[in-house]
Structure 1
Amino acid sequence: MDISGTRLRAVRAALFTALVVTLSAASHVLLSRAPLPPATVAAIAAAVFVLAYALAGRERGYGRIAALLIPSELAADTVFTAGQHVCYGEAGGPVAGPLRSVGFDVLCGGTPVGTPLARMTADGHGGAAALLADAEPSAAWLLLGAHVAVGLVAAAWLRRGERALAQLLRAVAGATFRPLLR
């Protein structure tokens, strides 16, 4: 059975987007200790959905999934960080002055995503900038290694899910048409 049907593609892409963006945003807020702007999260969700829908046409191997997932994860992290810096400043506080008058209130408007998580992990720190100011140079390499490791594990998990879905659909198709063969 083909796993590339339009309805099935849309459902797969929507579930993938919901899971990936929720986990990515929550982990980014927990690690950076600053909330995310809602427009940034919405933009990442839209991009992930479009990419997942476009690539859900056929079963992919582990290497191809990992080759797409790791750069996408790093790009999403970069966009989240840029959104935090633009909307809340480098110290995690609101940006005031000429930046607001240029129209960033549209980009940064609304309730920040993950504010309770950011408050829970704050412990009196000033946000991501305060954490990075005290960090050692090796912290950037450790963070990159963590991203790559999580991407590789997620790619393996996605590959197993792809294979399981294809096997399930083949089994359902076989069981559905078996009575007609008699």
Structure 2
Amino acid sequence: MDISGTQLRAARAALFTAVVVTLSTASHVLLSRAPLPVATVAAVAGGVFLTAYALAGRERGFGRIAALLIPLELAADTVFTTGQHACYGRAGGPVAGPLRALGLDVLCQGSVGTPLAQVTGASGRGSGALLAHASPAAAWLLLAAHIGLGLLAAAWLRRGER
């Protein structure tokens, strides 16, 4: 089966983007207890689509998939966290971060995952309050979770390419 056709590559990249961005957005909102700005999610989705489209032309092994997927997953998480802090501030409140001072608060219009953030029962507590009471081991556990999920996703992608 030829997996390098333009239409099939675009369809595979779009499906991969939809699944990956939906899962990563939902998990980030649940863990941080704060919604994500729409512009941040759109930027990550665009980057994921372009990367998936560029790499969908040939079959790759597990090691190469994992070596690319894990750093990109960590980069997406960093972009999500940066977007939350820039738009909502460390306390998760209204737009009062550095973007307002520059007049770029239009990037913070709309949010993704507001109802999902409310499911956690964090009324009045944003990501800043959650991180303020986290133990130092939480960062290592989060990194281990990212690596574990990246390896699982790499195995899933490798199986799909076979």
TM range (shorter): over 0.9
TM-score with structure 2 setting the length: 0.95
Find the counterpart in structure 2 of residue 142 from structure 1.
141
Structure 1 residue 28, shift from structure 2 partner = 0.2
State which drifts further: 69-78 or 90-99.
Answer: 90-99
SS at match of 1:122: coil
TM-score with structure 1 setting the length: 0.85
CA contact (8 A) 1:125 1:131 kept: no
SS at match of 1:27: helix
| Aligned residue type for 1:119 | Q
Find the counterpart in structure 1 of residue 20 from structure 2.
20
Q: Deviations over 1:141-162 (max 9, x none)?
A: 0000000000000100111111
Distance (Å, rounded) in 1 between the aligned partners of 2:19 and 2:66: 17
Residue correspondence of structure 1 range 147-158 to structure 2 within 5 A: 147-158=146-157
Q: Deviations over 1:147-181 (max 9, x none)?
A: 00000001001111111xxxxxxxxxxxxxxxxxx
Provide the aligned C-alpha RMSD in A: 1.4
Structure 1 residue 36, shift from structure 2 partner = 0.2
Does 2:108 correspond to 1:108? yes
Residue correspondence of structure 1 range 33-182 to structure 2 within 5 A: 33-96=33-96, 99-109=99-109, 111-124=110-123, 126-163=125-162
| Aligned residue type for 1:120 | V
CA contact (8 A) 1:33 1:128 kept: yes
Structure 1 residue 104, shift from structure 2 partner = 2.4
Find the counterpart in structure 2 of residue 9 from structure 1.
9
Bigger Rg, structure 1 or 2: 1
Distance (Å, rounded) in 2 between the aligned partners of 1:121 and 1:32: 9
When the two structures are aligned, how many residues end up with a matched partner?
A: 162
Q: Deviations over 1:5-64 (max 9, x none)?
A: 111100000000000000000000000000000000000000000000000010111111
Structure 1 residue 3, shift from structure 2 partner = 0.9
CA contact (8 A) 2:95 2:105 kept: no
Distance (Å, rounded) in 2 between the aligned partners of 1:45 and 1:154: 17
CA contact (8 A) 1:87 1:104 kept: no
Q: Deviations over 1:120-143 (max 9, x none)?
A: 113335111111111111110000
Q: Which runs of 4+ in 1 moved over 6 A?
A: none
